[in-house]
A and B are shown apart, each in its own frame.
Chain A
Amino acid sequence: MFDSLSDKLDKALHVLKGHGSITEVNVAETLKEVRRALLDADVNFKIAKEFTNTVKEKALGQNVLTTLQPGQLMVKLVKDELTELMGGDAEGLNLSGNPSIILMSGLQGSGKTTFSGKLANFLKTKKSKKPLLVACDVYRPAAINQLHVVGDQVGVEVYSEEGNMNPVEIAQNAIAHAKQNGHNVIIVDTAGRLAVDEEMMTEIANVHKAIDPQETLFVVDAMTGQDAVNTAKAFNDRLNFEGVVLTKLDGDTRGGAAISIKSVVNKPIKFIGTGEKMDAIDVFYPSRMADRILGMGDVVSLVERA
């Protein structure tokens, strides 16, 4: 297992104990541990640096007024700051369109097709919608097939055009099909693409322009490392997406990419994926994510112990 931050802070807290107040020197030592924990959790290098600077300023400013021990204060500050960073208005999906259109985007293998199926299932069972899944990945071997299997699993119709290599056309035809057949939500699955692949980025920008979705979602693997910021920024520059989906959180990754992405594009994380099955979808809780990134099962108890 990883060394958890609570262990590290415990160590660093010993440094603080006996001082009674937070000074420039002991705060620096504690924050070095915090920064290291953030980097181990894959928070972006620059963002980790900024974050610890922010916490430092807050810590030094508050120290005289508080009744908390310095160590307790540090833990609380770090946790609160992280939660706030990832929080914001926990918006749901905008389903006001008729039909509402949802466009999936993201890197190869991030979990777009799987999440499309999960979302269709969620909207069908929890929101009484009649979704249509649309197969706009015309490249990946068996991508269309995969979406059909997923659609069958959740009992949602899949629109695809075998042989048509034009995603813009397929998406437009799907909208017409949805209108004729009373589908009130359309979920458009697209091919995985790299942010540096100009041709493919233009393609998805064209799809986006043609269908004008209410919700464009950026699907990202929670295990992503330092590159998360570059990718999120590049996709957001082209698509101005509405929200983020963080997948594969059933693993043991800390998921620091969540902070990096939120910091760089300032868009809400709307859903998380927690498994391969069609019901493994959940809404995002900033405070739980902060605990996970810091590796603290229970911050409250740590504060009480300190």
Chain B
Amino acid sequence: EKSKTSFLDKLGKAVAGKSKVDDDVLDNLEEVLVSSDVGVNTTLKVIDRIEARVARDKYLGTDELNAILREEIAALLSETNTGNAVDFELPESNVPYVIMVVGVNGVGKTTTIGKMAYQFKKAGKKVVLGAADTFRAAAIDQLQIWADRTEVPIVRQEMGSDPASVAFDTLQSAVTQNADVVIIDTAGRLHNKVNLMNELTKVKRVMQKVIPNAPHDVLLVLDGSTGQNAFEQAKQFTAATEVTSLAVTKLDGTAKGGVVIGISDQFQIPVKYIGVGEGMEDLQVFNKFEFVDSFFK
């Protein structure tokens, strides 16, 4: 709320018809963006874009400058983020549609899977979960509780078993059951651990023995309170598994999750979902304008 008043105050000083943004406004914009974890690089990029745009179009008042800011920031989010998806839709092209969920430790993978299962089931889809985190203490029990809550079947093995084998079993079971969508949970792993990243590549490869073009979606989950390290996460997980979409969690807190702007821009990966709580219903389809607006609140 502090940044809002000061930022909008400065914006209020803007004079109509200007073709240059005041340094004050730019300094303030820098503070708002960096404080939202957008990062210095992306912030400079945004500022350049705004300066270029204003030099070309001028602006007629605060509202217009505000709209320009919003558009230019949002424009960095991957093109595929149309910003108007409202539903938890699944492409019809691949049945079952296989989603593999990856990310570093504790970001919210398992919880996000529970929430997705709830949404897909509500949309009338037949969902199967695969408990391929066989490492973390009680990870399988945790996913089991989500499966019970959402009343969807789960495929699991013992703790310590081979995650690739769990993924294989899950896909086979899903095919037999005529499932519409399969979601595979994986153990959290830091992206600088080569062996663990290779394991992920293997899990992915083994799935293709059952369904040749699986997984159809590799969802990287990022914790909304993570800072610039999320860049390396996106980079390394993309290298290991060709990430195709992002989910940003814990946006019900005070963290803004701005780092995904640069990630989406650089890697051209769309943000699909945001997590806004620990409950079953606390998952939303990403809306880029709402997201950008939250920086200024």
Query: Which residues in A have some Cβ–Cβ distance to B below 8 Å?
Result: 36, 39-42, 44-45, 107-111, 113-114, 139-143, 145-150, 153, 194-196, 221, 223-228, 230-231, 248, 250-254, 256-257, 276
- Which residues of chain A have C-beta atoms less than 8 A from B37's C-beta? 42, 225-227
- Which residues of chain B have C-beta atoms less than 8 A from A146's C-beta? 136-138, 141-142
- A108 is contacted by which of B35, B114, B146, B278 (Cβ under 8 Å)? B278
Q: Please tell me if the beta carbons of A223 and B141 are within 8 angstroms of each other in the complex.
A: no
Q: Within the assembled complex, what's the spacing in Å between the Cα atoms of A108 and B232?
A: 22
Q: Please tell me if the beta carbons of B145 and A142 are within 8 angstroms of each other in the complex.
A: yes
Q: Within the assembled complex, what's the spacing in Å between the Cα atoms of A122 and B149?
A: 37
CB of B78 within 8 Å of the partner chain: no
Q: Which of B142, B149, B229, B250 has the largest number of chain A CB atoms within 10 A?
A: B229
- B104 is contacted by which of A147, A223, A227 (Cβ under 8 Å)? A223
The minimal Cβ–Cβ distance linking B103 to chain A, given in whole angstroms, is: 10
The minimal Cβ–Cβ distance linking B34 to chain A, given in whole angstroms, is: 5
Contacts A224-B226, A227-B253, A257-B227 given; does A111 touch B136 at CB 8 Å: no
- Which residues of chain B have C-beta atoms less than 8 A from A114's C-beta? 137
- Which residues of chain A have C-beta atoms less than 8 A from B108's C-beta? 108-109
**Interface residues in B, total, Cβ within 8 A:** 45
Q: Within the assembled complex, what's the spacing in Å between the Cα atoms of A107 and B226?
A: 12
26 A-B pairs in the complex with CB atoms less than 8 angstroms apart: A40-B39, A42-B229, A45-B35, A108-B278, A109-B250, A111-B105, A140-B278, A141-B114, A141-B141, A142-B145, A143-B138, A146-B136, A194-B253, A195-B254, A223-B104, A223-B227, A225-B259, A226-B255, A227-B225, A227-B254, A228-B225, A231-B254, A251-B190, A253-B227, A254-B229, A257-B227
Q: Please tell me if the beta carbons of B104 and A251 are within 8 angstroms of each other in the complex.
A: yes
Q: Please tell me if the beta carbons of A42 and B227 are within 8 angstroms of each other in the complex.
A: yes
- B225 is contacted by which of A41, A113, A221 (Cβ under 8 Å)? A221
Closest to A251 in B: B190
- Which residues of chain A have C-beta atoms less than 8 A from B138's C-beta? 142-143, 145-146, 148-149
Q: Please tell me if the beta carbons of B253 and A109 are within 8 angstroms of each other in the complex.
A: no
Say whether chain A's binding surface is mostly helix, strand, loop, or mixed: loop
- Which residues of chain B have C-beta atoms less than 8 A from A41's C-beta? 228
CB of B71 within 8 Å of the partner chain: no
In the complex, which residues 135-154 of chain B have their Cβ closer than 8 Å to any Cβ of chain A? Answer: 135-139, 141-142, 144-146, 149
Q: Please tell me if the beta carbons of B232 and A252 are within 8 angstroms of each other in the complex.
A: yes
Interface string of B19-55 (1 = CB under 8 A from A): 0000000000001001111011000000000000000
Q: Identify 16 new A-B residue pairs, CB closer than 8 A, beyond the known A147-B137, A223-B227, A223-B229.
A: A36-B40, A39-B34, A40-B40, A45-B35, A109-B105, A141-B141, A148-B138, A196-B253, A223-B223, A224-B226, A225-B228, A227-B256, A231-B254, A248-B190, A252-B190, A252-B229
CB of B106 within 8 Å of the partner chain: yes
Interface string of B230-258 (1 = CB under 8 A from A): 10100000000000000000101111100
Contacts A109-B108, A146-B138, A196-B253 given; does A250 touch B227 at CB 8 Å: no
The minimal Cβ–Cβ distance linking A40 to chain B, given in whole angstroms, is: 6
CB of B82 within 8 Å of the partner chain: no
Contacts A153-B137, A226-B36 given; does A248 touch B105 at CB 8 Å: yes
CB of B191 within 8 Å of the partner chain: yes
- A224 is contacted by which of B35, B141, B227 (Cβ under 8 Å)? B227
- Which residues of chain B have C-beta atoms less than 8 A from A248's C-beta? 104-106, 190
Q: Within the assembled complex, what's the spacing in Å between the Cα atoms of A116 and B105?
A: 16
- Which residues of chain B have C-beta atoms less than 8 A from A40's C-beta? 39-40, 228
CB of B183 within 8 Å of the partner chain: no
Q: Within the assembled complex, what's the spacing in Å between the Cα atoms of A36 and B39?
A: 10
In the complex, which residues 161-195 of chain B have their Cβ closer than 8 Å to any Cβ of chain A? Answer: 190-193
